[in-house]
Structure 1
Amino acid sequence: MKPNAFSALALAAIIMVSIFSPAVMASTVYGPAQFEREDGKPVRVNDSFSLDHVHENYTLCIRNGDGAINTSSSSFIFLNGVPVVGPADFNQNVDLIQKSISLEPENDINIEVEMRSVPGSQITLWIEDESPFITINSPSDDTFSSGTVDVSGFVDTLITSDISLTFNGITSVLPLENGNFSTELNLTGPANITVSGSDLAGRVHSATLLLDGDMLPESYEYLLGFDPPEPRLRLNHDP
């Protein structure tokens, strides 16, 4: 899934394209916003955003360049008037910069991009919290059955790869529609289901469902059947 631009601000030195992420349970709370070097002197670009709920831990992330090309050697980034990233953090070999930050309910991001590379160099900036990048909505806690089961959920806007589903060792590709996925599986016994994908920085994220009844060893699961007393479903996320 590729991010979609919602606006472009053409300035003497910089083009800014901002992309908003989903508002509910998204890991990305701002961006991604792309800045591209043009001819002329660097200028400061101002942007702002607000949060309904403020958590303790946030990370400001910057992807340098477009893949392995068009990298920047220098940029300045200010958050609420405080410098958080400067030229010392950049060089042509740095692909991803990550900084731990704190946020307020109302935030003004003041960004000055001073790219000393050739025109066309780029950076992409976003802020993320600790929410999972991939969320499985169904099956829900303490519900599963043998036979056909619907597996559905959604991904964060940063997930740019195809989504893969691994079911008892067999991997298939899940199509995405507006960031949502859904498929049907035929369960014949204890099942381990993992949904995974890569974000625009190349990091791999996953969510796993372990449908194993009452946590007995696998041999007992098959002996007792797939619906033993006190069934449980465990949901694990790898951010």
Structure 2
Amino acid sequence: MGEPTAVVFDLDDTLYPERRFALSGYAAVATVVGGETGMPAGVLYRFLVRRFRKHGREGLLQALCAAFALSPQEVPRLVEIIRTHGPRLRLPHDSRDVLGVLRARGHRLGVLTNGLPSTQRAKVRALGIDGLVDVVVYAQEHAPEGKPAHVCFATILARLDVHAARAVFIGDHPEKDIAGAAAAGLRPIWLPGRRLDPAPPAAEAVARSLADVPGLVGRLLEVHHVAAC
């Protein structure tokens, strides 16, 4: 039997679009604020979604408070509602399919994710990822800022019991995912999504969609195997 191999994924904006968590959080905020003030939750939610799509997250909750005569001191509490709500999420079919293909090929599978561990655990539960991979590591339980700290990658490699050179990492962030994985000895595949930036120098391959990943994984691990022979 050959040396074991692993494929490790980032979570947010890699296995699912992170904006879906944001929208779920805004729905939770609208429900709470509506219940407390008597304002229709649907009106509050539509305001949040329109502003999010037009301006992004910066100043979003402050704008909600200004538009609906809420105290700006409410903002930290609204942030906490988003962080702690039970998200309504569904794993995209292409993510589920790719994980199934990789598992069928005998790779060990892992997820290494940044973010507040309690929030990330809620996402993993909602997406049903626990049953599709072998290991989930919450990076900020091992380093204050999470990835790209070496210990985060070393931890998931140890839990998967795979050597770094026999592991591929897929992520969207050039520094936290790609540079961090390369520095730890993993083979990085960049999944840029909507990013238009040039590929990070540390990326060994670029996947334009998750559907590209199984073929790229096979190529990278085969190249390593041939080089090692």
Classify the TM-score, shorter chain. under 0.3
TM (norm. structure 2) is 0.26
- Choose between structure 1 and 2: higher helix proportion: 2
TM (norm. structure 1) is 0.25
